[in-house]
Amino acid sequence: MSTAILGATERELRRDRTSVKWLAYPPDVLPLWVAEMDAAPCPAVVEAVSAAMARGDTGYGWAPRYAAEVARYASDMWDWSVDPADAVVVADVMIGVSEMLRVLTDEGGPVIVSPPVYDSFFGFVEAIGRRRVDAPLGPDGRLDLAGLAAAFRAATASGQRAAYLLCNPQNPTGTVHTAEELAALAALAHDHGVRVVSDEIHAPLVYPGGPGFTPYLTVPGGEHGFAAFSPSKGWNLAGLKSAVVVAGAEARDDLGLLHEVHTHGSSHLGEIGHVAAMRDGRVWQAHLLTELADNRALLGRLLTEHLPDVRWRAPAATYLAWLDCRPLRLRHDPATVFREKARVALGSGPRYDPGGGQGFVRLNFATSPGIIEEAVRRMASVL
């Protein structure tokens, strides 16, 4: 077997993996849909969690230790000074996000999102009984400030409390918002009385050589907002649940309204694994980013060779490719065609953009180069 982090073959993965990625579709379907990496585990995490199990350390977590490690990681990686007292540990990022939206808005109140965006944003807004207001990204995949201003104005016209749910970095486009864009967003939010909650789970997956990650709370005006973070995406630890919600300097009182019971959902083993990842797994993660960058380049070459009509922008972050397949004219949803005829499962565009995602698919390239090549060849075969 290859010693690469992303070197396993499909046969090896099917033999060893029992997550939803590998069981949701029949065995002849290549699963490149859900945001889960086919990565060999980080040794530091394996050692820490295995040792905890061996000694019977399987009780409830201690949130201050986890929050302190997140603060140290944020300082080292992004020069972001986080006071652990301004952080609440929660079960995962979306639980933290949705509970903050409950605090900041009223039943039936508006929550603005910018599609195409992580599809669970839509589900969580609906689940907590809020009303979604769309402010789509621009054609370049970046924040449309004029569109945001119009959406903020409309959302607050009747005097209702409103919030904006930011994806930073952006899923599925892989856009990394600049400090200037985020500052402009913060200014708009302040002008219209909109509170910003930023999902920053993909922050460790920003590629070197491009725009660096900017935490929303570090830009002028960001002190009125909130950020939710977890190392689960950066180290492929979705099965080990934990995350933090961090308040800006002017939002501490609102964070205090988040009931202490929400800290109970954080997994002690998740906290142990995440702490080990942030503290001792940085070399592993840097090597992973190198392999992901290689896969990103490989995908670009394969698309040029086999599917030249597909349009895309190589993502500056994440391991997700947002592919514009409209020139292929594969009906309303090409993901269905690729799954049924090529036996490749991809994310369906309308899931991420109900109003404008027709003809798009999301492809997860956090797998072995051989699987990427096989998937693109299969996709091309339907033409």
Report the CATH number at residue 240. Answer: 3.40.640.10
CA 186/CA 199 separation, integer angstroms? 15
Give ∠ CA 99-101-158 in degrees, rounded to 5. 150
| 166 occurs within a structural domain | yes
* 331 shares a domain with 302: yes
> Over 60: is that where the pLDDT of 2 sits?
no
pLDDT at 322: 98
Please return the burial class of 253, using the count of CB atoms within 10 Å of its CB with bins 0-12, 13-18 and 19+: exposed
* 305 shares a domain with 186: no
pLDDT at 317: 98
Percentage helix, strand, coil for the chain under 3-state DSSP, each rounded to 5: 45, 15, 40
| 2 occurs within a structural domain | no
Last-in-domain residue among 260, 280, 300: 280
Range of the domain at 25: 10-41+282-381
Could you tell me the CATH number of the domain that includes residue 361? 3.90.1150.10
> Over 80: is that where the pLDDT of 38 sits?
yes
The phi and psi torsions of 16 (rounded to 5 degrees) equal: -105, -25
* 223 shares a domain with 337: no
* 366 shares a domain with 353: yes
Mean pLDDT, the chain, as a whole number? 97
Q: What is the mean pLDDT of residues 316-332?
A: 94
pLDDT at 123: 98
Inter-helix orientation angle 43-54/268-280, to 10°: 140
pLDDT at 331: 77
* 346 shares a domain with 254: no
Last-in-domain residue among 280, 310, 338: 280
* 202 shares a domain with 89: yes
CA 37/CA 237 separation, integer angstroms? 9
The phi and psi torsions of 46 (rounded to 5 degrees) equal: -60, -45
Cβ neighbours of 244 (radius 10 Å): 27
DSSP label of 207: P
Q: Quote the number of domains for the chain.
A: 2
* 75 shares a domain with 173: yes
Please return the burial class of 166, using the count of CB atoms within 10 Å of its CB with bins 0-12, 13-18 and 19+: buried
Residues 6+ apart with CB under 8 A from 235: 42, 45, 204, 273, 274, 277, 281, 284, 285
**Amino acid sitting at position 345:** A
* 222 shares a domain with 163: yes
Inter-helix orientation angle 120-127/93-104, to 10°: 40
CA 357/CA 351 separation, integer angstroms? 7
Q: Is 247 helix (H, G, I), strand (E, B) or coil?
A: strand
Quickly state the pLDDT bin for 1 (edges 50, 70, 90): very low
pLDDT at 70: 98
* 144 shares a domain with 101: yes
pLDDT at 193: 98
> Over 80: is that where the pLDDT of 30 sits?
yes
| 189 occurs within a structural domain | yes
| 1 occurs within a structural domain | no
pLDDT digits (tens, 9 = 90+) for 4-20: 999 999 999 999 999 99
Token pair, residue 166, equals 């930011």
Give ∠ CA 103-108-111 in degrees, rounded to 5. 65
pLDDT at 152: 98
| 108 occurs within a structural domain | yes
Quickly state the pLDDT bin for 147 (edges 50, 70, 90): very high
pLDDT at 263: 85
* 302 shares a domain with 267: no
Last-in-domain residue among 280, 300, 316: 280
| 4 occurs within a structural domain | no
* 225 shares a domain with 206: yes
> Over 50: is that where the pLDDT of 25 sits?
yes
> Over 50: is that where the pLDDT of 187 sits?
yes
CA 40/CA 236 separation, integer angstroms? 9
| 5 occurs within a structural domain | no
CA 300/CA 170 separation, integer angstroms? 19
pLDDT digits (tens, 9 = 90+) for 148-183: 999 999 999 999 999 999 999 999 999 999 999 999
Q: Is 80 helix (H, G, I), strand (E, B) or coil?
A: coil
In the chain, pLDDT over 70 holds for what percent of residues?
Answer: 99
* 110 shares a domain with 19: no
| 82 occurs within a structural domain | yes
